[in-house]
């Protein structure tokens, strides 16, 4: 599935994005289109997002002219924050999934400076952006979102994947207004017992059983945590605030107390059926909570929804993002031009200079240099186009030893990057993680919390 913008939106995007593209030489650049896909195969148009280790840019593949989002992560920054395994794990999971309501991976590769992930381009922005723009979402809006996200969560659960960071920041809109889940940086594959155990997520959206597991009161948690986060997200869209008051510095014990004892005031502006569905998504007891597509489909709040038509994208969303703008913060482009010390548009010239300098070293000096271990040897090359011609995506590798970490979200508009997954090594404290694939920013650092 390739999600592209409307012709108007794309022509507008390219026009706006020509600033970065124009920095390239006007001469015709040659590249081997038959070889492995690499950085030279893409025209860089403009920056639309940033994070700890790099940025997200709109790019165009030179041979097919298709538009994508290119996420690039600086190797040195990832190594310093001990986050390389997280990035590799995210790629392994994304290679094994493809769904109409998920931001899908198309290519990944690396060079001397960066690791690259090329994914679906969605021009509608994320739900957090539209909430910040004071967009009002009604029950009619969120009913379709609920159906689309339930289909995506059902797909992930069927493949043993817990996303663990469902929130408005990680739900992107395409140009027609359909929702898509992004950011699998702390996603986990369940073990043989169907559970995970690390303290991972964005606090205001984390289910009670995640904290009870961290406190030693539970043996683990499963897919129900994503359905809880879905309930929090839909509640927030309807009421413009979350059902629970939880801050970044709230500890696990206090957070669990808030989740268990808060008397939630459900939105008065929606039907009793919708509020009942929200109540069942936010049940503290995970065993009683709605956590399947079948349960959502059979609920009275969804009685009018044809899920087959939803999956086929035959139901038009009521909210269509503007195609007169990029639905993101325009300062990302200025930062790339003015602040960035290693801008992407100058990469080719920079790497050529580095190679020339490296070749000029004497063989004697080279022989006395102790070779460093390659931290990035497991970052895979991937080309979904090849898979579409007969090859199946590889299954993610078995999960290694478990670790723990959590992201803290102090303010409603903050975007947090949780800092580990069950299947990834724990980064250093105060690290931020994956980049979003639309217009979004990691505004605060993550803070790991050790298990009791």
Q: Just list the catalytic residues.
A: 165
Does 348 belong to an annotated binding site? no
CATH topology of domain 7-123+326-388: Phosphorylase Kinase; domain 1 (3.30.200)
Q: Which residue has the higher pLDDT, 160 or 375?
A: 160
Which of 17-21, 317-321, 383-387 holds the top average pLDDT?
A: 317-321
Check residue 399 and report its DSSP letter.
P
CA neighbor of 171 nearest in space, from 225, 239, 124: 124
Q: Which residue has the higher pLDDT, 397 or 294?
A: 294
Torsion on CA atoms 288, 290, 295, 296, rounded to nearest 10: 160
Percent of the chain past pLDDT 70, that is, above it, reads 68
> How far, in Å, CA of 288 to CA of 273, rounded?
17
Residue 173 binned pLDDT confidence (cut-offs 50, 70, 90) = very high
Rg, Å, the chain Cα set:
22
pLDDT at position 335 is: 53
Grouping H, G, I as helix, E, B as strand and the rest as coil, residue 309 is: helix
Indicate where the chain has its CATH 1.10.510.10 domain(s): 128-311
Percent of the chain past pLDDT 90, that is, above it, reads 59
Q: Are 247 and 224 in contact (CB under 8 A)?
A: no
Burial of 404-421, coded b for 16+ CB within 10 Å and e otherwise, reads bbbbbbbeeebbbbbbbb
Interhelix angle 272-281/224-239, nearest 10 degrees: 140
pLDDT at position 84 is: 92
Q: Which residue has the higher pLDDT, 383 or 437?
A: 383
CA count, 13 A, side-chain hemisphere, 372:
4
Q: Which residue has the higher pLDDT, 396 or 289?
A: 289
Q: What is the pLDDT of residues 25-59, one digit of tens each?
A: 334 555 566 678 999 999 999 888 876 677 889 99
Q: What is the pLDDT of residues 216-271, one digit of tens each?
A: 999 999 999 999 999 999 999 999 999 999 988 899 999 999 999 999 999 999 99
Q: Are 168 and 126 in contact (CB under 8 A)?
A: yes
Continuous segment of H or E residues that includes residue 74 = strand 67-74
Q: Are 161 and 93 in contact (CB under 8 A)?
A: yes
Q: Are 142 and 193 in contact (CB under 8 A)?
A: no
10-22 mean pLDDT: 45
Which of 98-102, 337-341, 401-405, 438-442 holds the top average pLDDT?
A: 98-102
pLDDT at 16 over 50: no
pLDDT at 127 over 70: yes
Q: Are 173 and 241 in contact (CB under 8 A)?
A: no
Residue 326 binned pLDDT confidence (cut-offs 50, 70, 90) = confident
Grouping H, G, I as helix, E, B as strand and the rest as coil, residue 414 is: coil
- Longest Cα–Cα distance of the chain, Å, equals 78
pLDDT at position 327 is: 82
Q: How far is CA 87 from CA 97, 185, 295, 354, 434, in A?
A: 16, 7, 34, 25, 7
User: CATH number of the domain at 128-311, please?
Assistant: 1.10.510.10
Grouping H, G, I as helix, E, B as strand and the rest as coil, residue 181 is: strand
pLDDT at position 33 is: 60
Strand-strand pairing, 171-173 and 188-189: unpaired
Which of 51-55, 294-298, 341-345 holds the top average pLDDT?
A: 294-298
Indicate where the chain has its CATH 3.30.200.20 domain(s): 7-123+326-388
> How far, in Å, CA of 285 to CA of 295, rounded?
16
Which of 143-147, 181-185, 248-252 holds the top average pLDDT?
A: 143-147
Lowest mean pLDDT among 100-114, 143-157, 323-337: 323-337
Lowest mean pLDDT among 136-145, 185-194, 341-350: 341-350
pLDDT at position 388 is: 67
Q: Are 248 and 203 in contact (CB under 8 A)?
A: yes
pLDDT at 273 over 90: yes
Q: How far apart are the first and last CA of the chain?
A: 43
Total-model pTM: 0.78
């Amino acid at each position: 599935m390739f999600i592209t913008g409307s012709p108007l939106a794309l022509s507008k995007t390219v026009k706006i994005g020509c600033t970065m593209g124009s920095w390239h030489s006007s001469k015709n650049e040659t590249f081997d289109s038959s070889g492995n896909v690499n950085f030279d195969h893409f025209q860089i148009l403009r920056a639309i997002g940033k994070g700890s280790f790099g940025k997200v840019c709109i790019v165009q593949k030179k041979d097919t002219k298709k538009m994508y989002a290119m996420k690039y992560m600086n190797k040195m920054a990832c190594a310093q924050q001990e986050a390389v395994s997280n990035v590799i794990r995210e790629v392994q999971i994304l290679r094994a999934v493809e769904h109409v309501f998920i931001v899908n991976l198309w290519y990944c590769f690396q060079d001397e400076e960066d690791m690259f992930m090329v994914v679906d381009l969605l021009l509608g922005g994320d739900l957090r952006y539209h909430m910040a723009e004071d967009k009002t979402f009604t029950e009619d809006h969120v009913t379709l979102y609920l159906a689309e996200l339930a289909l995506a969560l059902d797909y992930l659960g069927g493949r043993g994947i817990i996303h663990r960071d469902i929130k408005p920041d990680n739900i992107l809109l395409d140009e027609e207004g359909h929702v898509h889940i992004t950011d699998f940086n702390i996603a986990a594959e369940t073990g043989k017992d169907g559970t995970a155990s690390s303290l991972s997520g964005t606090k205001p959206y984390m289910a009670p059983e995640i904290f009870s597991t961290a406190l030693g009161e539970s043996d683990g948690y499963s897919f129900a945590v994503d359905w809880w986060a879905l309930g929090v997200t839909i509640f927030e869209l309807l009421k413009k605030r979350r059902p629970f008051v939880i801050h970044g510095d709230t500890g696990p014990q206090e957070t669990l107390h808030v989740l268990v004892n808060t008397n939630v005031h459900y939105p008065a502006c929606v039907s009793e059926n919708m509020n009942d569905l929200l109540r069942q998504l936010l049940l503290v007891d995970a065993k009683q909570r709605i956590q399947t597509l079948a349960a959502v489909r059979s609920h009275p709040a969804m009685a009018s929804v044809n899920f087959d038509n939803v999956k086929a994208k035959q139901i038009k969303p009521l909210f269509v993002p503007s195609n007169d703008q990029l639905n993101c913060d325009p300062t990302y482009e200025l930062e790339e031009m003015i602040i960035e010390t290693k801008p992407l548009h100058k990469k080719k010239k920079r790497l050529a200079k580095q190679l020339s300098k490296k070749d000029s070293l004497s063989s004697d000096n080279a022989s006395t240099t102790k070779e460093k271990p390659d931290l990035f040897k497991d970052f895979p090359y991937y080309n979904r186009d090849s898979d579409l011609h007969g090859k199946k995506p590889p299954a993610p590798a078995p999960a290694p030893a478990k670790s723990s970490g959590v992201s803290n979200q102090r303010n409603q508009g903050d975007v947090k990057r949780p800092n580990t997954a069950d299947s990834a090594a724990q980064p250093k404290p105060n690290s931020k993680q994956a980049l979003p694939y639309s217009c979004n920013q990691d505004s605060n650092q993550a803070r790991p919390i050790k298990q009791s």
